[in-house]
């Protein structure tokens, strides 16, 4: 692999972005290491070269070669960039379920409450600290300029997608949450093309139907805004916009707190980009609801 151009001094986000983009050109051994690092970026800052090589199941020299290919003088220089970004490894879903049960059995619900609060706060802080708001602004502009905007999420993410479509739909036309009814994710983008845009989200373990739908969208020339908890996620490759959103939680399912915050910011930027007419339209929308008596007035419940 030839040496890539990384800004100097590089940030961890820039290094990971470069690594993600360069994966296709790596040798199998380097690609194996790259996938491990993209999935476990915070392991880098806390491990020696031998420790990390053991975890990634590669030779220590592979870490040296990968570091130099990214423009770093050594693995230690590469590691230094990540030293302030330390987190615990991620358990599997069954492991977490068993742990939750053991907490309840030992009467440690208070500890679970504290851990939940800590992870929720950490996710929010991590997202806002690591995300460049200018990148969200550019994504918002592309959404406003698109003919239609599809937002795709399954499972718990489908509720997030529908909430975004509902709110963004007050500002711009053509926002559709997928999948709809009993359809498959890929069905909703059958007629999409380069004039549209697709927001897709999936988190570890990655959902096959999302990955397949994004592949179809790319083949049809549809720009993709990819959202996941790792740059190693398959939908991140060749996406027009990429956003890493932390979902850490001590509970069984992923946390959507930071994901919800991301979409709230995106909606705000969409409204700002769409112009004053949108604000007037939203005001008229709520005024009509008020006139129809949809909202409860103070006089309706006060005695």
Q: What is the pLDDT of residues 40-73, one digit of tens each?
A: 886 787 678 898 999 999 999 999 999 988 888 8
Band of pLDDT at residue 115, cut at 50, 70 and 90: confident
Q: What is the mean pLDDT of residues 83-110?
A: 58
Alpha carbon distances (Å) from 36 to 81, 126, 131, 226, 258: 17, 21, 22, 20, 23
Contact 252, 97 (CB under 8 A): yes
pLDDT at 286: 80
Q: Lowest-pLDDT range, 87-91, 113-117, 195-199?
A: 87-91
CA atoms of 149 and 211, how far apart (whole Å): 18
For 167-218, what is the HEC assignment?
Answer: HHCCCCCCEEEECCCCCCHHHHHCCCCCCCEEEEECCCCCCHHHHHHHHHHH
Question: Helices then strands (H, E): number in the chain?
Answer: 13, 5
Q: Tens digit of pLDDT for each residue in 247-281?
A: 998 888 899 999 999 999 999 999 999 877 777 87
The answer to whether residue 75 scores a pLDDT higher than 70 is: yes
Contact 243, 135 (CB under 8 A): yes
Helix (H) or strand (E) holding 152: strand 149-152
CA atoms of 296 and 285, how far apart (whole Å): 16
What is the separation of C-alpha 279 from the centre of its chain, rounded to a whole number of angstroms? Answer: 28
The pTM of this model reads 0.76
Contact 164, 151 (CB under 8 A): yes
For 202-267, what is the HEC assignment?
Answer: CCCCCCHHHHHHHHHHHHCCCCEEEEECCCCCHHHCCCCEEEECCCCCCCCCCCCHHHHHHHHHHH
The answer to whether residue 22 scores a pLDDT higher than 70 is: yes
Contact 219, 188 (CB under 8 A): no
CA atoms of 201 and 257, how far apart (whole Å): 14
Contact 201, 160 (CB under 8 A): yes
Higher-scoring residue by pLDDT: 105, 218? 218
Which domains does the chain carry? 12-80 (1.10.10.10), 130-290 (3.40.50.10490)
Residue 187 structure tokens: 């069905």
What is the separation of C-alpha 25 from the centre of its chain, rounded to a whole number of angstroms? Answer: 24
Neighbours of 70 (CB within 10 A): 23
Contact 33, 62 (CB under 8 A): yes
Residue 74 structure tokens: 């050594």
């Amino acid at each position: 692999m030839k040496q890539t151009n990384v800004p100097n001094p590089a940030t961890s986000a820039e290094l990971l972005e470069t690594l993600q983009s360069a994966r296709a050109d790596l040798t199998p051994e380097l690609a194996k290491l790259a996938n491990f690092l993209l999935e476990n970026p915070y392991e880098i800052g806390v491990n020696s070269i031998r420790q990390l090589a053991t975890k990634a199941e590669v030779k220590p020299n592979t870490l040296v070669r990968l570091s130099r290919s990214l423009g770093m003088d050594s693995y230690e220089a590469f590691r230094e960039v990540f030293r302030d970004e330390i987190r615990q490894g991620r358990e599997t879903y069954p492991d977490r379920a068993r742990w939750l049960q053991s907490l309840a059995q030992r009467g440690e619900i208070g500890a679970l409450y504290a851990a939940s609060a800590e992870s929720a706060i950490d996710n929010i802080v991590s997202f806002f600290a690591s995300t460049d708001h200018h990148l969200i602004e550019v994504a918002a502009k592309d959404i406003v300029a698109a003919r239609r905007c599809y937002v795709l999420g399954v499972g718990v993410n489908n509720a997030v997608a529908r909430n975004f479509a509902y709110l963004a739909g007050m500002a711009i036309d053509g926002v559709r949450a997928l999948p709809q009814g009993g359809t498959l994710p890929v069905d909703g983008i059958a007629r999409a093309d380069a004039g549209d845009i697709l927001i897709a989200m999936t988190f570890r373990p990655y959902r096959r139907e999302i990955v397949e739908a994004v592949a179809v969208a790319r083949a049809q020339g549809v720009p993709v805004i990819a959202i996941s908890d790792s740059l190693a996620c398959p939908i991140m490759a060749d996406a027009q916009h990429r956003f890493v959103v932390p979902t850490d939680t001590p509970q069984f399912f992923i946390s959507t707190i930071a994901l919800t915050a991301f979409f709230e910011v995106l909606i705000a930027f969409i409204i700002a980009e769409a112009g004053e007419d949108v604000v007037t339209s939203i005001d008229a929308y709520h005024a009509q609801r008020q006139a129809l008596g949809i909202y409860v007035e103070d006089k309706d419940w006060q005695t």
